[in-house]
Amino acid sequence: MPKHFQHASRFLRHNEKIAGCLTAIERHTQLLHEIRAVLPPPLDEHCLHAALDTGVLTLITDSPVWSSRLRFFTPELEHHLTPRHGPIVTCRIRVQPRASVSSSKASGNMLSTTTIQHLMDAAAGIEDARLAAALRRLAKGGTRKR
């Protein structure tokens, strides 16, 4: 077994198409590091991806809350990035939830027994029969889609 190991990307760079993809990934990673250096914590951790193409800066966050906060920092990002990357015409911010967030939502939204009991208690204390019936249906069915 050889004593010196080489990273797989070194072998992949011999293929012209793969080398171009690896170079683009490295540019995006470097840009993301530059952007995260400007952003305050914890916002920097929620900026997941960055791309700059012909003056259009595209940023991806993991929730709408962080995208809103990120919008406040776009003038500062443009000021910081323009000297090195050229003028930024527009900044687009997109939301892409992390895999763990979407998989937990897909696992089924079951109500806890405590929540079910609260719904049943609320239904028992409400005079409006239709609202009470709706609360009981919600408690019995959880939030599962039918």
Angle among Cα 9, 14, 17 to the nearest 5 degrees reads: 90
pLDDT for 105 equals: 47
Task: Record the pTM.
Answer: 0.60
Asked, for residue 83, whether it belongs to a domain, the answer is yes
pLDDT for 103 equals: 46
pLDDT for 90 equals: 94
Segments of the chain scoring below 70 in pLDDT: 1-3, 5-7, 9, 11, 100-109, 142-146
Instruction: Say yes or no: 82 and 114 in one domain.
Output: no
Instruction: Say yes or no: 40 and 78 in one domain.
Output: yes
Structural domain that includes position 118: 108-141
The CATH number that applies at residue 78 is: 3.30.300.180
Instruction: Say yes or no: 18 and 77 in one domain.
Output: yes
Instruction: Say yes or no: 99 and 71 in one domain.
Output: yes
Burial class (CB in 10 A: 0-12, 13-18, 19+), 35: buried
Count of domains observed in the chain: 2
pLDDT for 2 equals: 59
